[in-house]
Amino acid sequence: MAGDDPKTLVSTDWLAAHLDDPDLRILDASWYLPDMGRDARAEYLAAHIPGARFFDIDEISDQRSPLPHMAPPPEKFISRMRAMGVGDGHQVVVYDGAGLFSAARVWWTFRLMGKTDVAVLDGGFPKWQAEGRPVEDMPPVLRDRHITVSRQAGLIKDVTQVAAAAKLGSHEILDARSPGRFAGAEPEPRPGLRAGHIPGARNIPYRSLLGPDGTMLPPEALREVFAAAGVDLSKPAITTCGSGVTAAIINLALERIGKHDHALYDGSWAEWGMYGDLKVATGNDG
């Protein structure tokens, strides 16, 4: 652990020490794949960190898109955050019920909107509970809070931009899916998608960035993971995964090692794997 940083990652000790800060806002951003058999909202209602609000990744999204949970338009983000009492001047801490799985997606969403006082809780709710820290089942009292956003277009990529980057080799494309899905040896959980990966991409399974306890590896170990995968950190990076959720864990890891020129491919494999005119690579090579 490189120490607490309220712009990237904070420990359970840090959160416990700041739990009563008036300008702290805690978000439960739990989200699960269907095969996990878990209900994020029901789990939130049963137990959450005191004061936490529930951030619904599927609802706070661009629902005009046929793709899953694409980044919300700024006006929808503003509307939902105001209603949740999250606004300017707040320090936001995001966690999830898997440890470190979906929380980074919400951290990235805030950064996309120009909000940088936001951190992921390292180890998430499992670590918080394992340490016997307080939980509650009552939703917090919400008061509207003004929020201003400034969308950072450089933090997000669309399919055209990713296709150009893959063709030119101008970026490192980093895929957070499992080695089996990356290689095309395992079927995709979403029906109708081809198997494999974007040509030239490198596989950085998100679990490889985490230690046995589910917390993120320290920066020097993160650098070793990228080096072992042959990542050229002098190039700008584009992250991808199945639908743009776990890709954000790579963005968080890059930020932790001081690399700031990274973006997320929001459509990810849910989009790329759908279109037959986009090339697909298989096996373990880029």
C-beta neighbour count of 256 within 10 angstroms: 20
State residue 168 phi and psi, 5-degree precision: -85, -20
Residue type, 99: G
DSSP character at residue 265? E
241 counts as catalytic: yes
Residue with tokens 């320290």: 218
Of 60, 241, 247, 248, the catalytic one is: 241
Strand partners, 95: 28
For residues 143 and 85, the answer to whether their CB atoms sit within 8 Å is yes
HSE-CB of 229 using CA atoms within 13 angstroms? 26
Least Cα distance to 26 among 109, 98, 119 occurs for: 119
Residue 169, token pair as written in the block: 């080799």
Residue with tokens 């529930």: 54
Nearest-angstrom CA–CA distance, 78 and 263: 22
53-54/91-95 β-pairing: unpaired
Q: Give the residue numbers annotated as catalytic, written as ranges.
A: 241
